[in-house]
A and B are shown apart, each in its own frame.
Chain A
Amino acid sequence: MSFITGVGLTPFGKHEGSSSLDLMSKAAQSALDDAGLKRAEIDGILCGYSTVSPHIMLATVFAEHFGIRPSYAHAVQVGGATGLAMTMLAHHLVTSGVCRNVLVVAGENRLTGQSRDALIQALAQVGHPDYEVPLGPTIPAYYGLVATRYMHEYGVTEQDLAEFAVLMRAHACAHPGAQFHDPITVADVMASKPVALPLKLLDCCPVSDGGAAFVISRERTGEAGVHIRGCAQAHTHQHVTAAPALSALGAEISIARAKEAAGLTISDVRYAAIYDSFTITLAMLLEDLGLAGRGEAAARVRSGHFGREGAMPLNTHGGLLSYGHCGVGGAMAHLVEAHLQMTGRAAGRQVRDASIALLHGDGGVLSSHVSMFLERVR
């Protein structure tokens, strides 16, 4: 068995003067405190990457800075899927006996540490250097292409997509650490500045500073146990030009494998933590994972299905769209919130039942997928 024994999350937004290492350290200390573990008890470190401070050995840079001499350490890079990929690896490291307590950590001063142009340019390099990048695409454009096709095949509208931005903002309003606290409407999303049509500014996640961390352990350290019941990955392509048909994308493959690994079905799930870099990402993933029928996710948002009081509470912290996106730590916030919900510590955001959670991360342009089931054990 593997347990998530501690979680840590900073507020997202502006952390003027904080470096990536500062934000990683802050989140890591919170996770250790939450787990009730000391530095000397951590024998594995997995960390994400920082676009602001790239380094060929970030895990050992962090280990030295934070004051840990682990027996296992390295960085992991799978874009937005990195947080869950690290969690999956930590799960295997502790269940196979390689490590006892693995610290998974990421943090980045992505908002204040560099210019917006520098970031957009850095991220656009996920495109093919010869066949895509010369055309001047951006990450929103890659997802904009996916969006027009998805809307065409399944009759989804721009208003439908806007519903996801409105929901994530409503959830963020209840979390003091979220980057945005002003409620928005579908009309606000529709009227926001065009970025890469059909995606407009409020269809896109912001850029944030922030950090997140967890400890994955062989044995539980507290009373309430959250264990990793099963997880799986799928990688079908890197570049959107080489992506398979919408019906053959990796989310469907990874969730099928994860269901088999966990021995669970979608009907067992009580809480959903799903990657939401853009509104289209969230709409597609919900439908790919089976949390809504094809083209029906927006209707489920309107009916309250994914709300705090609904049958399937979704990203109750506000997701990347409104809690914020600081790189690898961005999607790790989804797991932190799931953990708080599962252990009854989500305060005013607490849902009735989060006994089994489904988490899903996506990297690249729907290129890399990780699906994971968490289960609360007493």
Chain B
Amino acid sequence: MSERLADWTKGEQAITFQTCGACGHVQYFHRAFCAACGAADPRARRASGRGRVYATSLVCRAATPETRALVPYNILLVDCPEGFRMMAHGENGLAIGDTVTASFKPFAGKLVPFFTKEA
């Protein structure tokens, strides 16, 4: 396995993805192997944190007491130039196609990626 890079899913201010040394496949959900060809040890890389909005949904009815206190919050799917799609939060009013940049915000006890429109 390659050394672990900082990642938001571990509470650190970074977005990482994996690339396969054998076939070049890019994957966002980390695994010990490439989901396209099965090769072991895909390499972890740090993403630029830039992207383009693929879809949005403003959550107005949340499921838990912790998240209900935070509505409305905007959930996004963001296409990143490195070749993967991710789910994140973003400022309200973002539109599909907007170019966005990631920062990080606390949300219901965790750190989550938060995208804002690039100036």
Residues in chain A within 8 A of chain B (CB atoms) = 117, 120-121, 124, 128, 130-132, 134-138, 140-142, 144-149, 152, 193-199, 239-242
Contacts and interface: CB of A to CB of B under 8 A. Distances in A.
Interface in B55-94: 55-65, 67, 70, 72-73, 75-77, 85-89
A372 B64 CA distance: 37
Interface size class for chain B? 20 to 34
A148 B95 CA distance: 9
Contacts of B76: 145
Contacts of B87: 128, 131-132, 135, 137, 240-241
A194 B62 contact: no
26 contacts: A121-B64, A128-B87, A131-B9, A131-B29, A134-B107, A134-B108, A135-B75, A135-B88, A137-B87, A138-B61, A138-B62, A141-B57, A145-B75, A145-B76, A148-B56, A148-B96, A149-B54, A149-B96, A193-B60, A193-B61, A195-B61, A196-B57, A196-B60, A199-B57, A241-B29, A241-B86
Contact of B59 (A134, A136, A152, A241): A136
Contacts of A141: 57, 59, 75
A15 B52 CA distance: 47
B115 to A, nearest CB: 12
Contact of B77 (A140, A197, A241): A241
A131 B76 CA distance: 12
Interface of B: 9, 28-29, 54-65, 67, 70, 72-73, 75-77, 85-89, 96, 107-108, 110, 112
A117 B63 contact: yes
Contacts of B110: 134
